Structure 1
Amino acid sequence: MTVADLMKHLSMADPSARVRLGINPFVPMAHKMGTVTGDTDQDGRPIVYLAEDAEAVQYGYLPRPVAEALSWMPPVEPPARGGRLRAVADGDTS
């Protein structure tokens, strides 16, 4: 992803929305966004780093729809709709 790609994604969001980082696909958690800084990689190409808040503020689990959208969790199938099962008493074969 490039800065232009990120800007395109962010331009579609509500400008007053808070930013959170999704961390750890095996236990998806939401973290507060911290510093944004830049440098270059080993080949001299510019890189922008998005960092977690310095206090490592964690806001609990990532909402399931977000984890699903990131493919960190499989989608949950809604339960099949059907009639309620009735208990069958001993000897009742109707």
Structure 2
Amino acid sequence: MARKQEGEQRRLEQRRLEQRRLELEKEQNKEERRRQKQRSLELQKEQDSRTDDLQKEMEELTMGVFVIWKEEEGLQEPPADIGIIIEGVEAYYLITICTADL
């Protein structure tokens, strides 16, 4: 009889431990999602800030040519975009699409 009670107690304790482990795992996943969302928002703010800075710089240019490379790709790969600015206005962009067929 005592062995039976001990076995039941162990099973109950194992269930409690498993429930607690699942709860902790759920909390960790929730925290990880929160951190990822926060990082995503920070990156978006940073990107928006860089975009605003570039827009201001472009408006001040008399003439310029810009080349935008994809992140984490080498210079052997074609650029993501090429454009021409005249008097602060983007006169031509996406040149890579136009020249790809030549």
For Structure 1 versus Structure 2, the TM-score category normalised by the shorter chain is under 0.3
Higher helix share: 2
Q: TM-score, normalised by structure 1?
A: 0.25
Q: TM-score, normalised by structure 2?
A: 0.24
Higher strand share: 1
Instruction: State the structure with bigger RCO (CA 8 A, min sep 6), 1 or 2.
Output: 1
